[in-house]
A and B are shown apart, each in its own frame.
Chain A
């Protein structure tokens, strides 16, 4: 048998049928659903008189458009359109009998944080959701990707997707990361190197010593942004850290079933000599804490760099850079560390997990913010509870941060958590698009530690300077 990649193995294990032209019906093990991209899909089912084929494999949670302020269990405390979308999800979950975590449930949170936390996400699975950041679940060695609403309806009705296989891409991060450099810096550095279309048509497998050294939380951060590099999905082969993470989770297998699962999970790695269509290698020790300067996630630079000029680019990117500099109100040659910050946002499916909050709290501890506004939005009710127990919430509150309830919040700013016109934000989220965090708002993507550093100094800051002070 010819050697296979991890992606090949998971793909092959899920093919229901294959047509002559290579079009496959792929079985879906877990379908995650949220309130914004699902109402039209459920409506479609109703109109066609169809049912949900596997409600036990379907998990719904409202996250994108929910308020992150107290009292939200009462729909009167939501904006009207939030209340309508949440009520629609409540009803659809009830009518179709799918697993559901309403806003009143402590387990509610961002769908990509809830799935792994509850043990729904397991190695070797296929996981889809009507959200592009579904790639997050790839950290477990699961084939996970975002789909549109028509495909949500297709999965609800058939528990399958019509798919053609992507190509294999390997992204290797060799060696050790230096102090102050995190999973977020890895994933942004990769996009900076490949561009936002560099992964189009591929499934990425991340590997190498620096990836192996990451915790499960860090691996989720890396895979989360595979989509920002254009890839369909990002994957990391499961190992002891993965198995330890899933052990004992509410929906993970137990006893003899766990042993059976484990023996299959241990076969989920890329065989020696397997073929990759594209290979990118970065040296872990050369990655610096990074920040985005423009309006595309590929606009990445080390924090020590200067704002680029349009002439530094070629082709269509010249015009795009001009537009981005004007939008961001930056001048070529300006030091990135001289950029003043109004607002800091710590949260999102990229960086809303406990480890992210610990990293930020480490920097913040005992100090006060110098920005106008700083908020922490934990990724789930359970992350929030754990952070309170560990004393992190007090550290943030004492420093002047707002301590919110779980949700997507200012990452996509559908709810009232938004930037105002011209407001500049250091954000741990995943997209710096025009208007992403609010109309004419300006976003600089950073790691949680870098966001915390900016909150304390009032400008973009190399977090390593604050770490040295402490040492």
Chain B
């Protein structure tokens, strides 16, 4: 997995609440058996008309946000389906961090598995960053995972919380299957115990 340390990038504002994973990547693109190449279909139904032409009003179609690496979004981002195609599409487009007041649980976890940092901040902080993002490509935000801060282009800095284990894995780009396999002896002994205690499982 790619490491995430510090990111300075353009942030695109998406103030809509409850942006669900069907919006992020509609199901028609779930027919793939690969992880790559989904970026072109990120937010497909909001981004293109039925003929496949770009809808100019959509934020990521605007010239100043085409290179966005950060999204500042409304509450409950990523709700709905468990499809990991959502973070795959974000990542393939180039989004490395999403900032909101809250995230749906499964989506939040899926981000960390793909080197994307979801950041939860209070409403007041998200409001400030949303306004900053609306300024366009001259406003570059700084996301610093090591120090757990986000700074607006004006230098307003907000601290965020992140689970220490998830932070560690992201900073080091660790594959957590490898880490868990190191605990195979503990899994073996659990299974042996359970073969006695709950043999019907």
Q: How far is the CB of B82 from chain A (nearest CB, A)?
A: 4
Are B23 and A433 interface neighbours, CB within 8 A? yes
Q: How far is the CB of B59 from chain A (nearest CB, A)?
A: 14
Select the stretch in B60-68, B99-107, B144-152 that faces chain A: B99-107
Contact residue among B18, B45, B79, B82 (Cβ-Cβ distance under 8 Å from A148): B82
- Chain B, residue nearest A19 (CB): B165
The 0/1 profile, CB within 8 Å of B marked 1, for residues 409-445 of chain A is 0001110000001000000000101111001000000
A68 sits at the interface (CB 8 A): no
Chain A hits for B176, CB < 8 A: 154, 162
User: Cα distance A317–B32 when bound, in Å?
Assistant: 34
Select the stretch in A80-88, A383-391, A394-402 that faces chain B: A80-88
User: Cα distance A319–B17 when bound, in Å?
Assistant: 8
A218 sits at the interface (CB 8 A): no
Are B84 and A148 interface neighbours, CB within 8 A? yes
Are A153 and B177 interface neighbours, CB within 8 A? yes
Q: How far is the CB of B169 from chain A (nearest CB, A)?
A: 9
**Using a CB-CB cutoff of 8 Å, which residues 87-116 of chain B contact chain A?**
87, 102-106, 109-110, 113-114
User: Cα distance A64–B179 when bound, in Å?
Assistant: 32
**Using a CB-CB cutoff of 8 Å, which residues 28-61 of chain B contact chain A?**
28, 30-35, 45, 50
Are A434 and B18 interface neighbours, CB within 8 A? no
Select the stretch in B4-12, B131-139, B192-200 that faces chain A: B192-200
- Chain B, residue nearest A21 (CB): B164
Are A253 and B180 interface neighbours, CB within 8 A? no
User: Cα distance A43–B23 when bound, in Å?
Assistant: 26
Are A158 and B23 interface neighbours, CB within 8 A? no
Contact residue among B26, B30, B83 (Cβ-Cβ distance under 8 Å from A435): B26
Tally inter-chain residue pairs, CB-CB below 8 A. 186
A98 sits at the interface (CB 8 A): no
Are A151 and B186 interface neighbours, CB within 8 A? no
User: Cα distance A405–B79 when bound, in Å?
Assistant: 29
Chain A hits for B198, CB < 8 A: 124, 261, 264
Q: How far is the CB of A348 from chain B (nearest CB, A)?
A: 13
Are B200 and A197 interface neighbours, CB within 8 A? no
- Chain B, residue nearest A159 (CB): B187
Contact residue among B17, B109, B110 (Cβ-Cβ distance under 8 Å from A316): B17
Chain B hits for A234, CB < 8 A: none
- Chain B, residue nearest A436 (CB): B22
Q: How far is the CB of A225 from chain B (nearest CB, A)?
A: 12
Known: A148-B113, A258-B200. A414 touches B31 (CB 8 A): yes
Are A23 and B165 interface neighbours, CB within 8 A? yes
Are B109 and A27 interface neighbours, CB within 8 A? no
Are B177 and A37 interface neighbours, CB within 8 A? no
B15 sits at the interface (CB 8 A): yes
Interface size of A by CB at 8 A reads 78
Chain A hits for B15, CB < 8 A: 316, 319
Are A162 and B180 interface neighbours, CB within 8 A? yes
Chain A hits for B106, CB < 8 A: 132, 145-148, 227
Known: A81-B31, A230-B105. A434 touches B180 (CB 8 A): no
**Max count, chain A CB within 10 A of own CB: residue among B31, B163, B184:** B31
A296 sits at the interface (CB 8 A): yes
Are A39 and B33 interface neighbours, CB within 8 A? yes
A36 sits at the interface (CB 8 A): yes
Q: How far is the CB of A243 from chain B (nearest CB, A)?
A: 13
Chain B hits for A261, CB < 8 A: 198, 200
User: Cα distance A439–B102 when bound, in Å?
Assistant: 27
Chain A hits for B163, CB < 8 A: 21, 23, 164
A196 sits at the interface (CB 8 A): yes
Chain B hits for A147, CB < 8 A: 82, 106, 109
- Chain A, residue nearest B32 (CB): A81
Are B82 and A37 interface neighbours, CB within 8 A? yes
Are A17 and B186 interface neighbours, CB within 8 A? yes
**Using a CB-CB cutoff of 8 Å, which residues 186-204 of chain A contact chain B?**
196-197, 200-201
User: Cα distance A265–B23 when bound, in Å?
Assistant: 41
Chain A hits for B20, CB < 8 A: 296, 431, 433
User: Cα distance A150–B107 when bound, in Å?
Assistant: 12
Chain A hits for B118, CB < 8 A: none
Contact residue among A88, A157, A433 (Cβ-Cβ distance under 8 Å from B33): A88
**Using a CB-CB cutoff of 8 Å, which residues 83-134 of chain A contact chain B?**
84-85, 88, 122, 124-125, 130-132
User: Cα distance A131–B110 when bound, in Å?
Assistant: 13
Chain A hits for B28, CB < 8 A: 414
Are B200 and A17 interface neighbours, CB within 8 A? no
A–B Cβ pairs within 8 angstroms, 5 of them: A40-B35, A296-B18, A431-B80, A433-B23, A433-B80
